A and B are shown apart, each in its own frame.
Chain A
Amino acid sequence: MRNLAQLMQGLAGEWPLLLPLLVGGLAVWLLLPRPRPYPWYLGALAGGLSLFLAATLILRTSGVSPEVVLFYAFSGLALVGAGMLVTQHNPARAALSFTLVVLSTCGLFLLLGAPFLMAATIIVYAGAIIVTFLFVLMLAQQAGLSDADARSREPALATFTGFLLLATMLYVLKGYQRPGTVEELLGRTEAALALGSRDEMLPVVEPRQTDEERARNDRRLFKQAESVLNAAGLRDLARSAREAGEEWVVVELNAEAPADEKAKQSRQALEKLQRLLADHRERISERLTEARLPGVDDAEGRRLPAMSSLSGPPPTTPFREVRRDAAGRPELPAENSASLGRALFTEYLLPVEIGGTLLLIATVGAIAIAQRREPGRPA
C-alpha cells in the first residue's frame, strides 16, 4: 500500500507533464471514428486546450525570437495534422493530413539546420509516398460508409496505450533536461549578454536611456551573470571537466565594486564562460563523432584531395575546420548539399549504386505483386 501511495504522490508531482497528456488523450478518444460519433467540436476544443497546455507547461521557452515563433508554428501544425490523420474517417483526408505533418516536420528539420534532409524528405514523402498512397486508394475503392472507415478497434485502450507511452518518454526526456546541460547554460549566457551595457552601445548609437534605466540594465546584467555563474550545474560541469583532464578557470564576481565595474566584470565573465562552454561542447561532440565514425580518413590516414572549394568542404574535413557561426553551430550551408553530393559520388558511390539496383528490383517485384490477374487464374 505504501508503494501505491508513493506512486500516486509521484504522479501528482508530475502534474505539469500529465495534464496536457490527459486532455490530449481525451481529445483523441473523442475524435476517433465511431458509428455514432461524438460532436467534433468537443474533441477539437479538448485538442486545442491540450496543445495550449503543452506549450505552456512542457515546451516552455522564454523570449520571442524568430526561432521560437517558427518552432511553435511548425510543431503546432505537426501535432494538429497528426491528430487529424489519426481521427479522420475519410482516408483521402487522412493522406492529406499526413502531407501536412510531413511539411511541418520538414520545417523543424530546417530549424535544426538540415536543409538537405528537409528537401529530400519533402520530395520523397510529401511527393512520392503520398501520391503512391492516393493511387492505391483509387485502385482499392470503398463506396460510401464502410466498416473500415467508420469504426475503430478498441479506441479507449489504444489511446491509453499511446499516451501512456508518451508520458513515459516525456518523463525520461525531462530527466535529461535537468539544468546543467551545456546548451541551457549557453542559452542563459547568451540571454544575459544580450542585455547590453552602456559601454557597448555608446560608440554605436546614442542611447536614449535615462540614468535610472542604465543603472537598472546594469543591475540586471549583474544579476543574470550571478545566476549563471553560480548555477549548480556549472559547478558539476567544471568538476567533471577537471576529472576528464580539462582546464576550467573559476570566475568570481565582486559584489562590492561600483556599478560600472560590476557590469564590465559581468560582461567579461559571461564572455569567458561562453567560450569555455563552446569549447567544452565541441570537445564532447568531437569525441562522440570520432567514436561513431570509423574510417573517416583513407587507409593511410591521409585526407582525400580537396576539389574546388565550390563543392564544399571534403567529407574528411576535421571537425574544427567546418565553418561555424557565432553560436558554434555549423553554418547553414549550401555547403551541406554540396558536401553531401561530393560524398555521394566519391566515398559512397558503391552503396548508392547498390541502393539503386535494389530499388529497381523492388519496383519489378511491386509490379508483379500488384498485377491484375484474369479471373480463374490462381492469384
Chain B
Amino acid sequence: MAVTLHHFLVVGAALFALGLVGFLSRRNLIVMFLCAEMMLQGWRSTSSPSPAVPRQPARAGVRAVRHHRRRLRGGVRGALILMLYKRQGSLDVSLWQDLREADLDRTEDEEPLPPPPPAEQYPHLSPCRPGARPPRRREEPCLKPSMESSG
C-alpha cells in the first residue's frame, strides 16, 4: 500500500513517546523543555496537516494564531528557565525536590560521578634575562625548560 495517514500517525506517536521518556528521565532543565517541545512536535505533525480532512483555506487564520502562541511559549519558557537557574545556581532539576509531595522520599544520588580528567600540564619555560644573546655554544641555552611535574 502507499503511504497512508496511519504511517504518519505512527511516526507522530513515536516522537511523542520518546519526548515523554526524555521528559521523565533527564535532569537538565533545558533538555527537559526540549523534550516537551518534541512531544508537541510529534502531536502537531499528525493533527495540523491532516489529509483525511483536506485543508480548508479558511482554517488558515486559526493556524496563524497558533503560530503566535508557539512563539510566546518558547520565549516565556526561556525566561522561566533563566529565573529557575538564578535561584539555584544550577540547571539540575533535582535541586527542586522540596516541591515534591509530602509522602515521597528524597531521591539521593548513590553512584558518585567519575572524577574529572586531570588538567593538562604544560612545561614552564623561564623567560630570558634582559640583554641575553643567543647561545654560541650548546652549553649555554637561553631557555631552560624545566618539567616541574610529570604531565
Contact = CB atoms under 8 A, between A and B. Distances in A.
A62 B1 contact: yes
Interface residues of B, number: 85
Contact of A352 (B26, B31, B61, B116): B61
B102 interface: no
Interface string A162-184: 11011001100100110001011
A136 B81 contact: yes
Contacts of B107: 153
A322 B56 CA distance: 9
Interface string B50-62: 1111111111111
Interface hub of B59, B78, B90 (most chain A Cβ within 10 A):
B78
A44 to B, nearest CB: 15
A339 to B, nearest CB: 4
Q: Is the interface of B mostly helix, strand, loop or mixed?
A: helix
A68 B3 contact: yes
A71 B11 CA distance: 10
Contacts of B59: 293
A366 B14 contact: no
Contacts of A176: 6
Contacts of B62: 348
A370 to B, nearest CB: 4
A95 B59 CA distance: 31
B2 A61 contact: yes
A222 interface: no
A316 interface: yes
Interface stretch (B16-24, B127-135, B142-150): B16-24
A370 B1 contact: no
Interface hub of A88, A128, A173, A352 (most chain B Cβ within 10 A):
A173
Nearest to B48: A117
A128 B24 CA distance: 25
A206 to B, nearest CB: 30
B54 A35 contact: no
Interface stretch (A102-110, A196-204, A213-221, A265-273): A102-110
A22 to B, nearest CB: 14
A149 interface: yes
B55 A363 contact: no
B68 A355 contact: yes
A114 B55 contact: yes
A334 interface: no
Interface string B4-15: 111111110111
A299 interface: no
B83 A369 contact: yes
Contacts of A65: 2
Contacts of A59: 7, 10-11
A330 B54 contact: yes
B57 A343 contact: yes
Contacts of A144: 116
Contact of B4 (A33, A94, A187, A329): A187
24 contacts: A58-B10, A86-B35, A94-B30, A109-B48, A112-B50, A124-B67, A125-B41, A147-B27, A147-B92, A147-B94, A166-B14, A176-B6, A177-B6, A188-B1, A289-B56, A292-B53, A313-B57, A315-B60, A344-B64, A347-B58, A348-B61, A356-B68, A359-B68, A370-B78
7 A-B pairs closest in CB distance: A348-B61, A114-B49, A162-B21, A355-B68, A166-B17, A86-B22, A366-B79
